[in-house]
Each structure stands twice: as C-alpha cells, then as structure tokens.
C-alpha cells in the first residue's frame, strides 16, 4: 500500500524522515494548528495483531500524558481509515539523532556528551515518576534540537506495546540488542534500572567510540553481559576524567541494585564526573560493586592507594588491604567467622610440618653446594642471595598452606 499524502484529513505528509522495522516517520503539516509535526505510520503488518494494537493504544495514551522539555510530545494517535494505517502524531524535532552524530563523528565531545545524557536523565526521571518506562533507550531515540541544543527522548511506550507481540522480529522492536539491559535480555520485566543501563551504554559509546561489550551474536552478548567486566572508558579515550569514567560504569552493573537509584542520581554523578569529582552515590555503589565481586584492594599500612580509582572508594575498603566484612542480617554487625574445625587444624599443622621439613632439607643441600663451590667441584656455586630467595619462597608456601 502506498504512503498516504494526508492523515485524518488534517496532517499533510511532506516528506520522509526515517524508517524502521515497526514504522516510518514523516514530516507533516498540521493544517489546523499550522505547525510542523512528525507523523509515525506503523507498519501495515502490525495492524494484523489485535493484541498489539490494543497495547499500542494504551501506551500511546500514557506517552501523551508526558509533558516535559526533554521528552518528545505526543499530540495525537489513532487509525487513519482511508489508508488503514495506525499513526502517532508527535512534536517535530528539527535536528539530528545521536545515532546520526555517531555516524558523523565516531565519538562525541566530552562536555556535549554529559549535557546530552544529563537532559535525557531529566526526561527519564520525569517519566519514571509518572510510572512510564521507556524500554528502548538508544542513540536513535535521542534527538538533539538544532534550534536550542536540547535533548529530547522519543518513542516512549512503543517497545512495551510490542514486547509480547507474536509478529515481533528480532531487532525491529526492542531496538539494537547492545542497548538492552541484562535483565531485558533474560526476558524479565523492564523497570527504571533498565533504562539507566541502556542510557549508560549510550554514554559509554559516545565517549569511547565503541560499545561496552563487542559481540558477534545475541548469545555472545548475553554471556559477556553476565561474565565480562566493562573496560574503563579511559583505555580508549585517556582525556575522559576518571571520575566520569567511574560514574558511567556504575550504570552498567549487572545487578540492578548497584546501579543509580534514579535517573536524576545518574545525572548528578555524570555532572560531578565531568569535574573529576565523585558523588556520594558513586562512591557508595562502587563500594557495593567491590564487595559483590570480592574485590581486594590493597594499600600500604596507614597510606593511600596509588590508583585514584581506588582512592575514591571508602577507606574501609583499602586501608587494611581487605574488603570490609559483609553485614549481618538486617544490616547489623558482621557475623563472626567460626573457627576451623579440629580436623582442619590438624591437616594444616601436618602440612606445615611437612613443608618445614622440606625447607630444612633443601636449605641444608643449598648450603652444602655453596660450601663445595670453592673446592673445584663440577657444581655451579650457589650465591647467598639465591639461598635466601629459595628460603623466602618456601616460607611463602608455608604461609599459603596455613590459610
């Protein structure tokens, strides 16, 4: 079916802006209010799924209630009877998407990135407080107005309407897989934390010029999300402030409880990171992440770690060279560790005695070789330094067996 030249007898279609698996977007003129609008016509095959159409109408109504400077306003939606096409009429944003900017520049300016993402955070925070989750945050849905430089989030609600559709095609509804949170990839319900993860992927890509996890298949991506750490942005772009790098990677934690509690908290962390400062939330969440991964942070007694990323952690995680003990039930004091059982102590004692005996035998042999070294034998003389190194190594072995 050809594209209609007019929708609902009111919106005159003037040209195409873009297309995807679900819809095609056109620039149009609202002949009643005499303003430029964007009209999204849903793909014809979507009209065949009544359940999808019902969900789509419900989500379009929810999106239409969102009125915020950083969200693309929805003006109208319905079914155009003459063409049989479902449509959404939205605010027209005269400017590129962040996907366009990435195609043109590979990476974005650091200050521009923080400004764009901060605006997106404000839009998401408003929507989340209104009970609306985006579910499809990606560069193509982040639109930058050429007139004001303001970032506007587009396409609220459409991903949810299509999540359970029997005609959904991979990549055509939920956006590029790289921006999906681990919980979305597992098929779990999306929430505000999922949007924060997706926006974190965008931020990482804007700064590093690459995705947090490079992948060749959806299976590989899912495995990397569950097991591979995210490399610091500073590896790929050293001029990014370390605190900003830390703030971005908090968004990409697998555990939703270790991500920012709100999009507003994320915005504050990124703004502070631009000045190479950590917010209290970033420090707290980094400490939680360190504890969750049993990360051991070392520092000289009474000193400061050399790594600035480590210094940013609470001192309880580095001044003793150990991770702080996990709290007990209800956040109370840590549970005391039970002493080793008698059998364990006996095995450790026997192991230590055996190793100590080996130490004495080897030490004696080494000293004998050292003594014979001056007597013209065929053995290579062993220096005192070498003997001491061997002894130190064996002592270390004993310590390891005592643990």
Burial 316-354 (b: 16+ CB within 10 A, else e): ebbbeeebeeeeeeeeeeeeeeeeeeeeeeeeeeeeeee
Output the pLDDT for position 280: 96
Q: Is the pLDDT of residue 334 over 60?
A: no
Which one, of 56, 100, 192, 91, lies nearest residue 137 by Cα? Answer: 192
Q: Is the pLDDT of residue 387 over 60?
A: no
The percentage of residues in the chain with a pLDDT greater than 70, rounded to a whole number, is 67
* Band of residue 349 on the pLDDT scale cut at 50, 70, 90: very low
Quote the radius of gyration of the chain (alpha carbons, Å): 30
Residue of 80, 119, 125, 136 with catalytic role? 136
Output the pLDDT for position 293: 62
Output the pLDDT for position 234: 97
The answer to whether residues 135 and 167 touch, using CB atoms and an 8 Å cutoff, is no
* Mean per-residue pLDDT of the chain: 76
Q: Is the pLDDT of residue 262 over 80?
A: yes
Q: Is the pLDDT of residue 344 over 50?
A: no
Instruction: Kindly state the average pLDDT of the residues 150-165.
Output: 71
Q: Is the pLDDT of residue 143 over 70?
A: yes
Output the pLDDT for position 272: 97
* Band of residue 297 on the pLDDT scale cut at 50, 70, 90: very low
How many CB atoms within 10 Å of residue 59?
21
Q: Is the pLDDT of residue 121 over 70?
A: yes
How far is residue 128's CA from residue 131's CA, in Å, rounded to a whole number? 5
Q: Is the pLDDT of residue 69 over 90?
A: yes
Q: Is the pLDDT of residue 295 over 50?
A: no
Q: Is the pLDDT of residue 148 over 60?
A: yes
Instruction: Kindly state the average pLDDT of the residues 77-84.
Output: 88
Residue 76: what are its φ and ψ, rounded to 5°?
A: -160, 155
Output the pLDDT for position 84: 85
What string of H, E and C letters represents the secondary structure of 153-199? ECCCCHHHHHCCCCCCCCCCCCCCHHHCCHHHHCCCCCCHHHHHHHH
The answer to whether residues 178 and 96 touch, using CB atoms and an 8 Å cutoff, is no
Burial 277-297 (b: 16+ CB within 10 A, else e): ebbebbbbbbbebbbeeeeeb
Average the pLDDT over each of 109-118, 161-170, 188-197, 391-400 and give the range with the smallest value.
161-170
Helix (H), strand (E) at residue 246? helix 242-251
Known active-site residue 136: yes
Residue 125: what are its φ and ψ, rounded to 5°?
A: -60, -40
Model-level pTM? Answer: 0.70
C-alpha angle 279/281/284, rounded to 5°?
Answer: 115
Residues 6+ apart with CB under 8 A from 389: none
pLDDT (tens digit per residue) in 199-255: 999 999 999 999 998 877 777 888 888 888 999 999 999 999 999 999 999 999 999
Q: Which of 208-217, 263-272, 317-326 has the highest mean pLDDT?
A: 263-272
* Band of residue 47 on the pLDDT scale cut at 50, 70, 90: confident
The answer to whether residues 163 and 135 touch, using CB atoms and an 8 Å cutoff, is yes
The answer to whether residues 256 and 226 touch, using CB atoms and an 8 Å cutoff, is no
Reported as half-sphere exposure (CB side, CA atoms, 13 A), residue 378 has a value of 0
Instruction: Kindly state the average pLDDT of the residues 124-149.
Output: 93
Residues 6+ apart with CB under 8 A from 380: 373
How far is residue 141's CA from residue 116's CA, in Å, rounded to a whole number? 12
Output the pLDDT for position 314: 43
Average the pLDDT over each of 60-69, 70-79, 344-353, 387-396 and give the range with the smallest value.
344-353
């Amino acid at each position: 079916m050809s594209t209609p030249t007019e929708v609902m007898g009111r919106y005159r279609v003037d040209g195409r802006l873009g297309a995807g698996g679900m819809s095609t977007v056109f620039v149009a003129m609202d002949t009643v209010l005499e303003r430029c609008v964007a009209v999204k016509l849903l793909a014809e095959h979507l009209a065949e799924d009544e359940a999808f159409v019902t969900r789509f109408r419900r989500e379009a109504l929810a999106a239409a209630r969102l009125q915020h400077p950083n969200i693309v306003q929805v003006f109208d939606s319905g079914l155009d009877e003459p063409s049989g096409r479902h449509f959404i009429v939205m605010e027209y944003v005269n400017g590129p998407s962040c996907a366009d900017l990435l195609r043109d520049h590979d990476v974005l300016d650091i200050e521009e990135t923080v400004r764009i993402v901060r605006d997106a955070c404000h839009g998401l925070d408003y929507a989340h407080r209104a009970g609306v989750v985006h579910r499809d945050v990606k560069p193509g849905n982040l639109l930058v107005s050429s007139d004001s430089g303001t970032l506007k989030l587009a396409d609220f609600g459409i991903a949810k309407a299509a999540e359970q559709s029997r005609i959904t095609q991979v990549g055509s509804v939920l956006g590029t897989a790289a921006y999906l949170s681990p919980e979305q990839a597992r098929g779990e319900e999306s929430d505000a934390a999922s949007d924060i993860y997706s926006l974190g992927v965008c931020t990482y890509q804007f700064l590093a010029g690459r995705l947090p996890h490079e992948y060749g298949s959806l299976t590989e991506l899912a495995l990397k999300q569950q097991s591979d750490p995210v490399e610091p942005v500073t590896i790929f772009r050293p001029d990014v402030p370390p605190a900003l790098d830390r703030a971005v990677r908090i968004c990409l934690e697998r555990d939703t409880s270790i991500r920012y509690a709100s999009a507003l908290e994320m915005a504050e962390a990124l703004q502070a990171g631009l000045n190479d400062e950590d917010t209290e939330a970033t420090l707290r969440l980094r400490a939680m992440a360190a504890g969750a991964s049993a990360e051991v942070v070392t520092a000289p007694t009474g000193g400061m770690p050399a790594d600035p990323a480590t210094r940013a952690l609470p001192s309880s995680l580095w001044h003793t060279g150990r991770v702080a003990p996990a709290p007990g039930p209800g956040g109370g004091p840590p549970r005391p560790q039970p002493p080793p059982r008698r059998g364990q102590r006996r095995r450790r004692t026997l192991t230590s005695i055996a190793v100590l005996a080996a130490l004495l035998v080897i030490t004696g042999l080494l000293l004998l070789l050292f003594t014979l070294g001056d007597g013209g034998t065929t053995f290579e003389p062993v220096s005192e330094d070498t003997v001491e190194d061997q002894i130190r190594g064996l002592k270390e072995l004993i310590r390891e067996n005592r643990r």
